[in-house]
């Protein structure tokens, strides 16, 4: 994919760009800040090394964009591709998007979503999806405003590492 930058001069001298390897530690810190915001910091197992490997290792599992103001990363979006058997195309799944609290309300999240939608369009994705916590009214209102549909009838189903191990051993 070609490297494309969005420059926004009227908002914090902001640039939205693809993440580069030297951004890894700052991205990891943003993700740790997100965990605190979501009140799940006690569940975090990821280390700086895990984040770096996922983004820039031998076989990366995710990609990222960052919002940068004056060489300081103020936001990050972590995404990967999934596949819809019903649409018959890959999708772009936004795992996390986070903007530092002091930079919120300056349309940075909006511009990041615009960039992610552009990536999804360039890659011929049939869908772009993400989750939102049911108590995060500000985010829900923002996503609705952006034209996203909140699918209340769908529930997240998850197995943690112990659950995977337990289920795996039932197959023996």
Per the CB < 8 A criterion, the answer to whether 90 and 78 are in contact is no
Of 79, 83, 103, 143, the catalytic one is 143
143 given a catalytic annotation: yes
Per the CB < 8 A criterion, the answer to whether 76 and 19 are in contact is yes
| Residue for token pair 């300081």 | 72
User: Which residue pairs, CB below 8 angstroms and at least 24 apart, start in 20-25?
Assistant: 21/52, 21/55, 21/56, 23/64, 23/66, 23/73, 24/48, 24/51, 24/52, 24/55, 24/56, 25/52
**Catalytic center residues:** 143
């Amino acid at each position: 994919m070609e490297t494309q930058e969005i420059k926004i001069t009227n908002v914090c001298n902001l640039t939205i760009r693809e993440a580069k390897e030297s951004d890894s530690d700052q991205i990891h810190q943003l993700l740790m800040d997100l965990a605190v915001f979501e009140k799940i910091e006690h569940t975090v197992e990821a280390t700086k090394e895990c984040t770096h490997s996922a983004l820039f290792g031998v076989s990366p599992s995710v990609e990222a964009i960052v919002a940068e103001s004056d060489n300081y990363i103020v936001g990050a979006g972590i995404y990967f591709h999934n596949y819809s058997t019903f649409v018959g195309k890959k999708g772009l799944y936004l795992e996390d998007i986070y903007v530092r609290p002091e930079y919120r309300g300056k349309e940075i999240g909006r511009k990041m979503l615009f960039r992610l939608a552009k990536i999804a369009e360039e890659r011929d994705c049939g869908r772009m999806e993400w989750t939102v916590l049911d108590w995060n009214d500000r985010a829900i209102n923002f996503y609705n405003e952006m034209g996203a549909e909140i699918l209340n009838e769908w529930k997240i189903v998850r197995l943690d590492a112990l659950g995977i191990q337990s289920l795996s051993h039932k197959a023996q």
